[in-house]
Structure 1
Amino acid sequence: MPQSDIVIIGSGIAALSAAYHLKNRKVVIITKSLWADSNSMLAQGGIAAVTQKNDSWENHYRDTLIAGCFHNDEKNVEFLVKDGPKEIKDWCQKGITFDTDENGQFLLGKEGAHSQHRILHAGGDATGLKVTSFLYQAVKASVTIVENEMATDLIIKDGICCGVYTKNEKGEITQYISSKTIIASGGCGAVYGNTSNAEVITGDGIAMAYRAGAEIADMEFIQFHPTMLHVNGRCVGLISEAVRGEGAILVNQNGEAFMEHKHDQKDLAPRDIVARAIFDEMKKGNNVFLDISCIKNFQTRFPTISEICVRNGIDLKKGKIPVAPGMHFLMGGIRTNDKGETSINNLFAIGEAACTGVHGANRLASNSLLEGLVFAKRVADHINSKPVVNEKKVFPNIQEECCETLKISLPTKKQIQEMMNKYVGIQRTQAELNYVINWFMRYERFFQNNNVKNFTKEEIEIINLLTVGWLIATSASMRTESRGGHYRLDFPVADDNTWRKKQIIRTKQEMVVGV
């Protein structure tokens, strides 16, 4: 039974950054597949941070609030945009290199809803891979990394988190006892199927925290990335917003640039607005394309995207890439404060699994990697400021009923995805939400279960998807307005002053609306 100071669940940028800053402690990183299987490794865009004198943290702060429809936690946004440049400077000094011009100046991009060019890139469109790989190399010798073990249940004793149960590929269960546990397992892209997320992102950390009694907030806010490569009716890869930042234009099959009259920022409007505009075009029976003909040396500037397109049979010489919206990012998650603390003692959350409130109702482009770096450092600094007391503890393995004895079969992953796409997608109505909530409630006994470790790994993933799907749908039903990534056909778009601070918080014991 391993004992450690810190257990970190996940292996993306937030997890590895936290591990780096905690490397003087005894740290164990647990990931259910290989360390490189994370959304961070797939991030094509970049990191938004103020690095030029003609920009300011106030500008970045304002852009973040506007994109987030003023639902943001303003204090945490200020931490994000003020600490971000310091993080970039520190990591550059440690050896991370971002793309520069011949004079050594950062090549800064501009993406949707940003008022300035402030996006740093590494390797063109491989920022996530470059930065995350660097972090891995920086920590692998000083922390223990356990691959191919799935975290299944948090160990809670007298309201305190004491570690986590895991299950390996052989079905063996292990207790990891720790003074502090950090969930950095990412979002829940697999609940929708058509997603930019890695296949392993099934909402595990959020579902596990919910079952343990942690507060979960803002699950209704789902960001659908406007431009995923759309081939044969399926989304098969991400086309970064940086492509539009370089001048690409959204058009339909008739060549109409339909964003011209949708928003004053046109193709670089906030993601929720662009995604709905594309969705509306497709409802009319139109096909949507990114016209890249104006971008010189496209394959040099965007090598990762070019490879995805060529692999899927797209002739880039024609200058058009077929696109459609797909699930990209969860603004909600495990509710935390500015130090990553959750409502359960000694349990922390960072990255996309956490709801820090910095993204509000709609994440500003390229703020996610920044959040991972900034809040991982804040969590680590908080933990490092306190002594770690680690008593040796043993908790009995509680035998749980297997699937067969629950008298009901679990649905398939595909069935869950079909229900979410159809009833809890880009546009929502109360009638559709009621229908899907009733469908989820058939399986309530599974996702209200405190203890799932004796199910198979595949069954646990299904239970986790059921849990996050139900959380999204029930939270969406409660928010009777349209705001950011939550769009109700039966309610108008909220203005900046309506319900500005109201969060919908789900706990296992009750559903409350907190102000």
Structure 2
Amino acid sequence: MPQADVIIVGGGLASLVTAYHLFEHKNVIIFTKAKKEESNSWLAQGGIAAALSGQDHWHFHYQDTIIAGADHNDERAVEILVQEGPKRLLELVETGLQFDTDQNGHFHFGNEGAHSQRRILHAGGDQTGKAMTSFLMEKLYGHVTIVEDERVIDLLVADGRCIGVRTKTGAYYADAVVLSTGGCGRLYSFSSNAETVTGDGIALAYRAGAAVTDMEFIQFHPTMLYVNGRAVGLISEAVRGEGAVLVTEDGKKLMESIHPQQDLAPRDVVARAIHAETAKGGRVYLDISMIKNFAERFPTIAKLCETHGVGLQDGRLPVVPGAHFLMGGIQVDLSGQTSLAGLYAVGEVACTGVHGANRLASNSLLEGLVFGARLAEVLKQRGSAEKGRRFPFVKPNSVKSFTGSLPDKGQIQEIMMRYVGIVRDERSLATARKWLEQFSIPELVKTDVTSWTEEEITVAYMLITGWLITTSALKRTESRGGHYRSDYPTEAMHWKKRRILRTKEEFFARIGGTA
């Protein structure tokens, strides 16, 4: 019976940070459904925010995070993020992690949207995520078992406790299971996310009975490179931080009269402005003509443009918004504990409330760094698994055969983008819900997927997660942060701290069934 002290599902930064602080104390296994480099963390072009300059202070960072989050944040979570972040960052620097510096050897601090100070650290220009994850992978080499191309298809639950995971090859048991699978960006046709990020972790937790929250808050990154009707890759917000501006086809500055911070306004504001321009048939471009040595400063973006035939010499990059980050997720406390004993979550898949209704730029890598370390401290205190300990046998879910049909991934992505995208209303959301529910969501929640193909499992879990987003968006009758309702365009302050929860019990009660 394969077992470990801790099983971590997912291979991004939050996962690696948790393992890094644990491996000297616990036997850790990491499962990734693809190669370990195929994560949002590896792709992260933007930097990591921390109040480290002499002109900055954690309280400024705190205020910026709350303002960007539309005052929906958990204040204590934000305090922890901005106060512990610099310490955790410098710990890695002291062990060899290198960030970009100026000619005097001091950190080079960049600027990004909604930040009041220059506090963004980068590594390799626009390769910060790759630099941080590869650094941690080197530190973990030989100390942690990383199982690639092994998809976790279910959580094992016995007597109200998560005791392991099931993969296509069998069951693995542990004293603690950590979900660190990232968000759900690939539920949308336009997305900055890695192809693997399809909301698996949310669906796994929900099927196991864990509560999820704030699923309506999806952040759309304003600037995806737009070529031949497709969003083909991310153009980092750091480009606007270095002076690039959004312009319409006739050269008019798009953001000039929309927000005081103009092109560096919060992402939800900029994304809606671009969406409004394209909805009336216009095109939006990012004017980069003022940035010297663009290819050297942003090598990843330069290569992306070259690959897709977009010339930097034109000085204008065609852009469109794409699904980027989930602010909600599996409900956790400030130590990563979910509502299900034995199950923890960290990173984008988890919701501590730290991001509120809209994540502040470059706070995502910081979240993984801070809350991964905090989770590890909690797991260190747990007793190690007894060698040869006997775990109870857990049967797969109760529905043996799924009687419904399944759509393909592209259909789900089109429905989510069209009806549950940047701008929403009751009619569009109800249309999406009706479409999703034709695929027998109650059965999908309970179905044994052991014999299903990888594609079938992906589609089923996309449907479950898409339904959670859609129904949560219907319930929040206000506009706040990443959730914008054209039929309720203003914030309703009585909703300020109300979180929308979804549990299996609530779901089955609504449809008149039983869990």
TM-score tier by shorter-chain length is over 0.9
Q: What do the CA deviations read for 1:222-261 (whole angstroms, capped 9, x no partner)? A: 0000000000111000000000000000001100002001
Does 1:476 find its partner at 2:477? no
The amino acid across from 1:336 in the alignment is V
Structure-1 separation of matches of 2:346 and 2:67: 23
Structure-2 separation of matches of 1:435 and 1:265: 35
The amino acid across from 1:231 in the alignment is V
Structure-2 separation of matches of 1:323 and 1:154: 39
Q: What do the CA deviations read for 1:98-132 (whole angstroms, capped 9, x no partner)? A: 00011111111010000000000000000000000
How far apart are residue 285 of structure 1 and its match? 1.1
State whether residues 212 and 331 of structure 2, in contact with CA within 8 Å, keep that contact through their aligned partners in structure 1: yes
Does 1:15 find its partner at 2:11? no
The amino acid across from 1:203 in the alignment is G
Which residue matches 1:442?
Answer: 438
Which residue matches 2:369?
Answer: 373
State whether residues 446 and 463 of structure 1, in contact with CA within 8 Å, keep that contact through their aligned partners in structure 2: no
Which residue matches 2:512?
Answer: none
Which residue matches 2:4?
Answer: 4
How far apart are residue 389 of structure 1 and its match? 4.1
**Which of 489, 495, 501 is the matching residue for 1:505?**
501
State whether residues 50 and 120 of structure 2, in contact with CA within 8 Å, keep that contact through their aligned partners in structure 1: yes
Which residue matches 1:189?
Answer: 185
Q: Relative to structure 2, which stretch is displaced further, 22-31 or 385-394?
A: 385-394
Which residue matches 2:266?
Answer: 270
Which residue matches 1:29?
Answer: 30
Q: What do the CA deviations read for 1:13-57 (whole angstroms, capped 9, x no partner)? A: 000110011102100000011111100000000000011121111
Q: How many residues align?
A: 504
State whether residues 44 and 125 of structure 1, in contact with CA within 8 Å, keep that contact through their aligned partners in structure 2: yes
Which residue matches 2:210?
Answer: 214
Does 1:487 find its partner at 2:484? yes
Which residue matches 1:348?
Answer: 344
Does 1:95 find its partner at 2:85? no
Task: Note closer, same or farther for the CA distance 1:486–1:292 as it changes in structure 2 (3 Å cut).
Answer: same
Structure-1 separation of matches of 2:412 and 2:238: 32
How far apart are residue 458 of structure 1 and its match? 1.1
| Secondary structure, aligned partner of 1:154 | strand
The amino acid across from 1:433 in the alignment is L
Which residue matches 1:414?
Answer: 410
The amino acid across from 1:151 in the alignment is V
| Secondary structure, aligned partner of 2:250 | coil
The amino acid across from 1:165 in the alignment is R
How far apart are residue 450 of structure 1 and its match? 5.4
In the TM superposition, 1:36-115 aligns within 5 A as 36-115=37-116
Q: Relative to structure 2, which stretch is displaced further, 386-395 or 423-432?
A: 386-395
How far apart are residue 398 of structure 1 and its match? 3.5
Structure-2 separation of matches of 1:335 and 1:451: 24
Unpaired runs of at least 5, structure 2: 510-515
Structure-2 separation of matches of 1:193 and 1:227: 15
State whether residues 399 and 454 of structure 1, in contact with CA within 8 Å, keep that contact through their aligned partners in structure 2: no
The amino acid across from 2:274 in the alignment is I
Q: What do the CA deviations read for 1:145-186 (whole angstroms, capped 9, x no partner)? A: 11111001100011111010011xxxxx31110000000011
**Which of 335, 338, 350 is the matching residue for 1:339?**
335
State whether residues 70 and 500 of structure 1, in contact with CA within 8 Å, keep that contact through their aligned partners in structure 2: yes
Structure 1 runs (4+) deviating above 4 angstroms are 399-402
State whether residues 9 and 179 of structure 2, in contact with CA within 8 Å, keep that contact through their aligned partners in structure 1: yes
The amino acid across from 1:31 in the alignment is T
How far apart are residue 439 of structure 1 and its match? 1.4
**Which of 448, 455, 458 is the matching residue for 2:455?**
458
The amino acid across from 2:213 in the alignment is A
How far apart are residue 353 of structure 1 and its match? 0.5
How far apart are residue 283 of structure 1 and its match? 1.1
| Secondary structure, aligned partner of 1:112 | coil
Q: What do the CA deviations read for 1:268-323 (whole angstroms, capped 9, x no partner)? A: 00000000000001112111000000101111100000000111001101100000
Task: Note closer, same or farther for the CA distance 1:446–1:312 as it changes in structure 2 (3 Å cut).
Answer: farther
Does 1:296 find its partner at 2:292? yes
| Secondary structure, aligned partner of 1:4 | strand
Structure-2 separation of matches of 1:413 and 1:406: 18
Unpaired runs of at least 5, structure 1: 168-172
Does 1:230 find its partner at 2:231? no
The amino acid across from 2:22 in the alignment is L
Structure-1 separation of matches of 2:292 and 2:328: 38
Q: What do the CA deviations read for 1:323-371 (whole angstroms, capped 9, x no partner)? A: 0000000001100000000000010000111011110000000000000
| Secondary structure, aligned partner of 1:485 | coil
Structure-2 separation of matches of 1:12 and 1:458: 22
Task: Note closer, same or farther for the CA distance 1:222–1:11 as it changes in structure 2 (3 Å cut).
Answer: same
Structure-2 separation of matches of 1:119 and 1:68: 18
How far apart are residue 399 of structure 1 and its match? 7.8
